[in-house]
Amino acid sequence: MKHPVLRNVLHGGLALLASFLVHAALRRVPVPYVLALDVYSIAVIAFALVKGEVAGAVMGAVAGLAVDSFSLGVFGLAGIAGTVTGYATGYVSRKINVLAPARMFLFAGLMGFLDFGLWVLLTSVFFGRGVPWGGGAAIGRPLTTAAAVTAVYAVYRRVKARRDG
């Protein structure tokens, strides 16, 4: 495929489809454990690391709206948080070297915290009630996001190196 925009749309759509399938498979897991893993945030951060800030922002908006469509809350809150996270991830990763696994883990954890923190802030402002913490399991969300993004990016780099020769 010669058109990079179409390739980005295809890759983003596949990442969202994979996120949806993993999210659907996690429906059988007890709720507190599911709150500790945000597959859409993992997809947004990994996509922004690979494709850059604009593609990351678009992916964050679309993934956030997909998350909002499954919830009963205000439509757009996760979209705003995802857009900011995708753009920030793509922008900062182009300015500093985050390729080493330890730096990748730290950076992905910070971006996961940004996404989760924005969502908590927007939810508390618009709803005026508490956030569903899932018995404290949701506090570990940035750590699970960091571990998953680090693993996904390592697999991506290995596949890309094998494909490129």
Higher pLDDT, 16 or 136: 16
In the block, which residue shows the tokens 């793509």? 90
Closest CA to 153 of 58, 12, 42: 42
- Phi and psi (nearest 5°) for 59? -60, -40
SS3 content of the chain, % helix, strand, coil (to 5): 80, 0, 20
Q: Using 50, 70 and 90 to split pLDDT, how confident is the model at 56?
A: very high
- Taking the model in full, what pTM does it have? 0.90
If you average pLDDT over residues 75-85, what whole number do you get? 92
What is the per-residue pLDDT across 93-142, written as a single tens digit (0 to 9) for each? 999 999 899 999 999 999 999 998 998 888 888 877 666 666 667 788 89
Query: Residues of the chain with pLDDT > 90: what percent?
Result: 55
Secondary structure in 3-state letters for 72-141: CCCCCHHHHHHHHHHHHHHHHHHHCCCCCHHHHHHHHHHHHHHHHHHHHHHHHHHHCCCCCCCCCHHHHH
Gap between the Cα atoms of 43 and 38, Å rounded: 9
| Domains of the chain and any CATH numbers | 4-164 (1.10.1760)
